[in-house]
Chain A
Amino acid sequence: MRYLPLDEADRADMLAKIGVKAIDDLFADVPNAKLLKSLPALAKTQSEITVEREIGRLSARNVAAGSVPFFVGAGAYRHHVPASVDHLIQRSEFLTSYTPYQPEITQGTLQVLFEFQSQVALLTGMDVANASMYDGSTACGEAVLMAHRITRRKKAVLSGGLQPHYRAVTETLAKYGGSEVTALAPDPLGKEDAAATIDGETSCIVVQYPSVYGSIRDLKPIAEAAHAKGALLIVVVTEVVALGALKSPGEMGADIVVCEGQSIGNGLNFGGPYVGLFATREKFVRQMPGRLAGETVDAAGKRGYVLTLSTREQHIRREKATSNICTNSGLCALAFTIHMTLLGEAGLRKLAALNHANACDLAERLAKVPGVSVLNDTFFNEFTIKVPGKAADVIEKLAKKDVLGGVPVSRLEPDKPALADLILVASTEINTDDDRAAFAAALKEIL
């Protein structure tokens, strides 16, 4: 087997050195009756050629986003990732290193995490950010639990503009962790009065910016209303590129900001791995989940970085930890940091402007298709359209015409027949004029 360096002679020598006769003597603690007498019923060792063929066959049965006009979003976005990003994250020293528990020989990863935390703090307009979470949705659930710890209250209000799967993740954690969630009705028009739902028992209100339906609202009034009642404002961003064009949540009074960072540096990957961004105010840092890299000096006085404030974490605090999170999204965070460094502020702003312009153009084109209306007054690179009939059927028909035309809201809100004619449509910098024209034409043909 090409991955196993020991040969039979080595194994015999090693058994002799150990002083046992057979390998199973080392498994003596396994109850004998339970030791498998035969191999599991699976294929035997296969060559690289064979395996590549088999996985290749599975891959070929999927429609790759890059092969068709593609407008799917709702929390994961197809952006162009520069070739150098993927090259750098495959450097052995990054790819095959562990969590940096030995800082003297992992300064590479630690400095990257420090840069990542700094970029995330700047982008969100917050004081501090952690070294990453699994993804945006789990970061959202953790943010609610953090708000409970800070406010010593147990009731969260979720805006109807929150991605429904984020809501489900947060509700799952709350349900079994003994806290309460009030989820507001789906808000495709962006008109809900979330502030009115905050009372003296509310620990936090969770608002998505832009909302899952695409609309953008000033969060300042909600922040003020929350703070007046002693509650926190948690802002969820599922498309971080938007923060290149929009005011930061920090500027508008957010207390915790969580984002799905996939858009920067990371591919679609059918839903994961992604990278959760988690940022907050300085005064809440000790209630934060996840790892943190911090600056310090070494014994010779040189600047260096270490994992710090670990008294919040499970390996030190065990049942008193702020979260059970351990392994997170290190390599995806690295990809984010490299891509963000390549962009820089100038590139990010340009990228955001391009996304917005493409989406504006698409909205105009689709609005002209008979029977279609665009619901949004405001949006960044994603908006909601209303179609005659079932949106899910329209999407399937579009797929048959080789257009991946967005996400039917019914996929996210299956129990809400009133929303069954809505489609979330995203357009990023990857879409060409031809793509958008093809989408509009295909839609027109179908309807």
Chain B
Amino acid sequence: MAMNTQGRPTAPGTVSSSEITTFTGNRGLDHEEPLIFEIGDTGRTGVDLPSAPKAKSRLGGLERKAEIGLPGLTEPETMRHYVRLSRKNYAIDSGLYPLGSCTMKHNPRLNEKMARLPGIGDIHPLQPQSTVQGAIQLMETLAHYLMELTGMPAVSLSPKAGAHGELCGMLAIKAAHEAKGSKRDVVLVPDSAHGTNPATAAFMGYRVKPIPAMADGTVSAEAVRAALGPDVAAIMLTNPNTCGLFEREIVEIAKAVHEAGAYFYCDGANFNAIVGKVRPGDLGIDAMHINLHKTFSTPHGGGGPGAGPVVLSAALAPYAPLPFIRKDGDKLLLVEDEGAAGDAKPFGRLTAFHGQMGMYVRALTYMLSHGADGMRQASEDAVLSANYIRASLKDLMSQPFGGPTGDRPCMHEVLFDDSWLKDTGVTTLDFAKAMIDEGYHPMTMYFPLVVHGAMLIEPTESESKQSLDQFIGTLRFLANEAKHGNDKSRFTEAPMLAPRRRLDETKAAREPRLRWRPPAAKAAAE
């Protein structure tokens, strides 16, 4: 055995391939990490604070007496706990994240830095407007960019996420109808829509009427015309749609909708495919939300925060919610109440303050960095990359709307179904979980609902060609194994190499354990 003069071996011996069971349950860098409730206690703290001076309590006799039960940790323990937990997550920074419809693109760190400038991150929404003119200017600039890119005359920045933006746009539509004395109560929603669309419509008391898609995955103007009537308030259509296709009859659809006295709400979740290529305002859209956390790359953060500004047509602009910005000489004014709204007829208020400033600055930083040319290039690269994946997998995996040769172009995401897995014993879920063992986050699966065993792949513009080629190579290997391999356990038992094997979702739902309880209380509850 090779060794140095201290007797330390410098070359590995031979290894067997079997796994060992460790004393700790840890596997090298992958640590088993308990809950804070199991390692901390209520007396420990990681924050040094001065003791409060003695003062007469003015809490009205409602002082909290009983222990709350919140465990504390010192700073090193806290760092270790959350760093260990972080390492159990997949992230864009660690690998390609092909979640269709979710747009997991690179999150530039300059954006984070800008959001933390004291004049951005450390200002209060209710401090005098004279002390936050730069912040209001930032919002105004973002609004200008969004209107320019969409070709729409107005925007409400308030909404806090995509679904909140849907609510904003649909409330503007409802207010516009009410102003005309119209009591329309139906909203048309295609079956392929995001679940948030019908949920939003129903949330506002609308009846949801589904519209079928054509065999090619898009909605026809004819189907829309057939569904329209005097009771229809609006259509909610995603474009590009959730099958990754541009709605080619969208202009005729908009015309039909307007002729019937209804409004056109566009779900802009997939706007990232067409920035700088085509403007929603030129297509006849009345309202569209823009997910700043998708198209303009504010980080997803494990489930938010997002931001969902809504661009509005001239017909809907007067109904935009409070607050909105108005120019007052050389000053900018945030109009916060109806009394100051002038000719505008705001439908109300969506949130206590002015929306997601932290996301505005990140999105604007992204836009300024890319510029008009860079944003258009980003859209083109996203579409190019999705089509490259499509063209590279079309011989192995089936596309529901790919046309007879599989050559129909898609937009920024490519949709496969599971017909190619028929009789293999491998499901979409198995295939997706096998990707985890290969080091990839799975694609969006079983969505859109209109396709059986859907697999929706969105690579985004952030991947190099080498990265795309490796991804394609991996999927080709897995697809061949699924079709022709003898041992399907690589799929049916996957993932084997992740921090956890497949989790029991049925048990979680049947015996909900939604919070930690002390062991004694837990035993008593069971």
Contacts and interface: CB of A to CB of B under 8 A. Distances in A.
Contacts of A267: 121-122
Contacts of B56: 360
B53 A117 contact: no
B485 interface: no
A165 B304 CA distance: 23
Nearest to A61: B134
A169 B369 contact: no
Contacts, number: 734
Interface string A314-331: 111111110111111111
Nearest to B113: A52
B145 to A, nearest CB: 6
A172 B321 contact: yes
B20 interface: no
B93 A96 contact: yes
Interface in B475-503: 493, 495, 498-503
Interface string B459-482: 001111101000000000000000
A178 B205 CA distance: 7
Interface in A62-108: 62-67, 70, 72, 74-76, 78, 82, 84, 86, 88-108
Contacts of A55: 114, 117, 120, 138, 361, 364-365, 368
A322 B447 CA distance: 20
Contacts of A318: 195, 198-199, 202, 208
The 8 A-B pairs at the shortest CB distance, nearest first, are namely A344-B72, A271-B353, A61-B134, A331-B301, A172-B348, A330-B303, A59-B119, A271-B125
A319 B199 contact: yes
Nearest to A340: B70
B231 interface: no
A1 B106 CA distance: 13
B514 interface: yes
B371 A43 contact: yes
A323 to B, nearest CB: 7
A343 B123 contact: no
B306 interface: yes
B373 A65 contact: no
B44 A108 contact: no
Contact of B299 (A103, A308, A331, A363): A331
B248 interface: yes
Nearest to A167: B349
A334 B72 contact: no
B1 to A, nearest CB: 36
Interface string B381-396: 1011101101110000
B304 A327 contact: yes
Contact of B505 (A31, A308, A415): A308
Contact of A102 (B339, B350, B441): B441
B222 interface: no
A27 B277 contact: yes
Contacts of B106: 3
Contacts of A17: 388, 391-392
A196 interface: no
A115 B466 CA distance: 39
B63 interface: yes
A418 interface: no
A102 B198 contact: no
Contact of B119 (A60, A117, A245, A331): A60
B302 A331 contact: yes
B351 A272 contact: yes
B126 A76 contact: yes
Interface string B53-85: 101111111111111111111010011011101
A414 B337 contact: yes
Nearest to A6: B381
B68 A98 contact: no
A163 B352 contact: yes
Given A92-B93, A272-B351, 14 more contacts: A26-B409, A55-B365, A72-B126, A92-B91, A102-B436, A270-B125, A270-B135, A299-B503, A326-B196, A353-B52, A378-B59, A399-B131, A404-B128, A414-B339
Interface string A8-52: 001101110111100101111111001110011111111010111
Contacts of A330: 300-305
A115 B62 contact: no
Given A172-B171, A332-B305, A270 B387 contact: no
Nearest to B85: A108
A45 B282 contact: no
Interface string B253-297: 000000000000000000000101111001100000001010000
A361 interface: yes
Contact of A308 (B49, B135, B512): B512
B167 interface: yes
A436 to B, nearest CB: 12
Given A57-B134, A328-B303, A354 B49 contact: yes
Contacts of B246: 27, 29-30
12 contacts: A18-B391, A18-B409, A39-B376, A62-B133, A96-B104, A105-B436, A111-B85, A132-B304, A135-B352, A296-B513, A306-B505, A332-B304
Contacts of A165: 349, 351-353
Given A169-B349, A176-B174, A350-B52, A344 B64 contact: no
Interface residues of A, number: 209
Nearest to A260: B352
Contacts of B69: 122, 345
A114 interface: yes
Interface string A300-322: 10101110111101111111110
A206 interface: no
B333 interface: no
A253 to B, nearest CB: 13
A445 to B, nearest CB: 18
A117 B351 CA distance: 23
A245 B64 contact: yes
Interface stretch (A197-205, A222-230, A287-295): A287-295
Given A128-B515, A314-B196, A96 B91 contact: yes
Contacts of B175: 176
A361 B55 contact: yes
B514 A326 contact: no
Contact of B135 (A58, A107, A108): A58
Contacts of B131: 62-63, 399, 404
Interface string B115-150: 111111111111110111111011001000100110
Interface in B328-345: 336-337, 339-340
Given A82-B47, A114-B515, A314-B196, A3 B64 contact: no
B505 A246 contact: no
A166 B348 CA distance: 11
Interface in A337-366: 338, 340-348, 350-351, 353-354, 356-357, 360-361, 363
A166 B352 contact: yes
A188 interface: no
Contact of B441 (A30, A105, A377): A105
B359 interface: yes
B81 to A, nearest CB: 7
A357 B78 contact: no
Contacts of B138: 55, 58
A151 interface: no
Given A107-B88, A308-B509, A5 B162 contact: no
B92 A96 contact: yes
A292 to B, nearest CB: 6
B163 interface: yes
B58 A319 contact: no
A345 B36 CA distance: 12
Given A59-B119, A309-B509, A319-B208, A31 B40 contact: no
Contact of B59 (A1, A112, A245): A245
Given A43-B368, A324-B200, A344-B43, A273 B205 contact: no
A199 B58 CA distance: 33
A447 interface: no
Nearest to A1: B374
